């Protein structure tokens, strides 16, 4: 079944979708407004992904990805989601960028079912006296060859070094080095000097 396209202003958005993605996937692409960019290279396998863009956002998906039922929502000017080549999302996972921030996922990453990656909390939390926002959006960087097991949540300002492993159900915020195993809520380093294989 071909991809379902719902693009409000086709001439005012930059859409580049590989022929195989268009012809073989059950994906749904919804784009509202102008100035959005969606680039999807040839996937490893057909998929039922959903891409929802608005407000001048950008989503770039590298070659040979296994998107499965991934849902990507980018809905603000300056919101950017980049997924590297050979990444695999098992089951249904979500990536959301509701405000100006960049979510960058390196190549050869693996995500178990039910993972969630979000660069903002969407709603503002404010200091009562100063009205200063306490939870601004923040970039997320996931290095090459990171394995996140099922149910992992990765939140704003997270940095995960390459070749790392994240245990099931963990909640990740903050910066972590390469070759570590993370687990817990919030996640902490439980072992160093590790890597993993497909």
Kindly list the catalytic residues.
123
β-strand 94-97 against 71-74: which pairing, if any? parallel
Angle (nearest 5°) at CA 5 between 2 and 10: 135
Q: How far is CA 121 from CA 130, 137, 146, in A?
A: 20, 7, 23
Residues 6+ apart with CB under 8 A from 187: 166, 167, 170, 171, 172, 173, 176
């Amino acid at each position: 079944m071909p991809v379902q396209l719902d693009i409000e202003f086709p001439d005012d958005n930059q859409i580049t979708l590989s022929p195989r993605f268009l012809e073989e996937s059950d994906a749904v692409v919804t784009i509202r407004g102008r100035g959005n960019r969606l680039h999807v290279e040839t996937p490893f396998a057909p998929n039922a992904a959903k891409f929802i863009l608005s407000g001048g956002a950008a989503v770039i998906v590298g070659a040979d990805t296994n998107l499965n039922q991934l849902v990507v929502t980018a809905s603000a000017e300056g919101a950017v989601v980049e997924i590297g080549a050979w990444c695999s999302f098992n089951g249904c996972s979500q990536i959301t960028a509701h405000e100006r921030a960049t979510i960058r996922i390196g190549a050869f990453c693996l995500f178990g079912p039910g993972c969630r990656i979000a660069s903002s909390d969407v709603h503002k939390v404010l200091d009562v006296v100063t009205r200063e926002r306490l939870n601004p959006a923040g970039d997320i960087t996931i290095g090459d060859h990171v394995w996140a097991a099922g149910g992992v949540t990765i939140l704003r300002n997270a940095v995960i070094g390459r070749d790392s492993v994240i245990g099931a159900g963990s909640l990740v915020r903050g910066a972590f080095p390469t070759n570590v195993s993370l687990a817990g809520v919030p996640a902490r380093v439980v072992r160093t000097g590790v890597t993993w294989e497909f």
